[in-house]
Chain A
Amino acid sequence: MIKKILIIGLLAVVGLIFFDLFNAYQGNETLSKTANYYAENGAKDVGAANLVTAIVVTYRGLDTLGEVTILFLAAAIISFALKFRKEDFIPNRPVRVTSELLDSASQVIVPIIFMVGIYIFINGHLTPGGGFQGGAVIASGVLLMIMSNPNFGVSHKVIATVESISGIAFVLIGVLGIILAGGFLDNTILPLGKLGDLFSAGVIPVIYTFVGLKVGAELSNIIGTISHAQNEKN
C-alpha cells in the first residue's frame, strides 16, 4: 500500500516538473545561434546537401565515434553474457518447418535488401538516411535469413573482420584529417565537389560507408548471438 502511494507521489512530482517545462515552451520562430551557423556555413564548409549528415559526421564526428564504441561494447557484453558450454549445444534443434513462401521469397529478397541498405548509406550526404539507417536495413536482411532457416549461424569470423577493418579505417581517416587538413575528422582531405553530386562533400561518403558497415555488423552480431542462444539445452 505504502509503495503505491510513493509511486503516485513520485509520478505527481515528475508530472509537475514536466508541466512546468511544457508551460515554458513556446514554439520557435527562428533558429538558435548554433543552428544558424550550421545552416549558413554548412553547405560552404562541408559541401553536404543533408545538414544532419554534415553535423553527425563532421561537426560532431567525435560523438559518432563514441557512439559506435558504445554499440561495440554492448555487442561484446551480449556475446559474453550468452556464452554457454559446447556440450549444452544442440546442433539441429527441432523447429517448425519454414513455409515454402518465406523460404523462396527470402532467397530473392535478401540480396535486394542488402542493396537497398548499401544505397542508403552511400547516398547519406544527399538524401535522408545514412550509416545508421543503412546498417539497420542490412541487419534486418540478416534477420530474414535467420528466420527462413532457424539453424543458420552467423559467421563470427566475417563479422569480426568487417567490424575491425571499418573501425580502424574510421579512426585512420580521422587522423589523416589532422595531418592533411584542419583537424580530427576534417572532411576536406578530398575535394568538396559540387553540392548535390554523388562524389561531393569530401570524405563524408567514405566515412558513412564505414559507419554503415560497422553498425550493420554489430547489429547482425547481436541478433545472431541471441538467436544462437535458442539452441542451448534448458
Chain B
Amino acid sequence: MEYVIISTGFALMLLGLWGILSQKNLIKIILGFTIFDTGINIVMVSIGYVRGKAAPILDVINPAEAADKIVDPVPQALVLTSIVIGLGVTSLMLVYAMNLHREKNSLDINNFKDLKW
C-alpha cells in the first residue's frame, strides 16, 4: 500500500510543478503550488509509515511495548506544521495576485514585464 501512496505523492508533485511552469494565469499558478504542497506532505508522511502498525496514540497500547506497535511520529509532527504554514503562504500569494491585478487589470503573467530584461 505504501508504494502506491508514495508514487501518488511523487506524481502529484510533478503535476504541480508542470502547472507552475506551463500556466499563464496567476491563480492557476498558485493552484499548482497548493497541489505541489499536498504531494510533498503525502511523501513525507508515507516515509514514516511502518507496515501494519497503529497510530502513535497510547490509549489502548501499553507504553512499555509502544516501540513495537506504532508508526513513526516525527514526520507527522513536521507535516502538521507544514500544512498550517502552507495556508499562510498561499493566502499571502493570493493577496499579492490581487494587488497585481489592481495595478495592471490583468492576471496574465505575460503582461507583467516591468522587471524583464
Contact = CB atoms under 8 A, between A and B. Distances in A.
Interface of A: 4, 7, 10-11, 14-15, 18-19, 21-22, 25, 27-32, 34-36, 38-40, 42-44, 49-52, 54-56, 60, 63-64, 67, 70-71, 74-75, 77-78, 81-82, 126-128, 130, 132, 136, 195-196, 215, 219, 222, 226, 229
B2 interface: yes
B91 interface: yes
Contacts of A70: 85, 88
Q: Identify whether the interface residues of B are mostly helix, strand, loop, or mixed.
A: helix
B14 A14 contact: yes
Nearest to B51: A27
Given A27-B2, A27-B51, A70-B85, A127 B57 contact: yes
A51 to B, nearest CB: 4
Given A50-B57, A51-B56, A67-B84, A7 B21 contact: yes
B57 A49 contact: yes
A28 B75 CA distance: 14
Nearest to B92: A74
B81 A67 contact: yes
A51 B56 CA distance: 6
Interface string B21-56: 110000000000000000000000001111100011
B72 A226 contact: no
A25 B80 CA distance: 23
B10 A81 contact: no
Interface string B88-106: 1101101110110000000
Contact of B80 (A4, A10, A29, A56): A56
Given A18-B14, A27-B2, A27-B49, 16 more contacts: A11-B17, A28-B48, A29-B50, A31-B67, A31-B70, A34-B74, A42-B58, A43-B66, A44-B63, A51-B58, A52-B76, A60-B77, A67-B85, A130-B80, A215-B84, A219-B87
Summarize A's interface: helix, strand, loop or mixed. helix
Contacts of B58: 42-43, 49-51, 195
B107 interface: no
- Of B6, B63, B92, B96, chain A has the most CB atoms within 10 Å of the CB of B63
A4 B50 CA distance: 40
Given A39-B67, A195-B63, A28 B72 contact: yes
Contacts of B94: 226
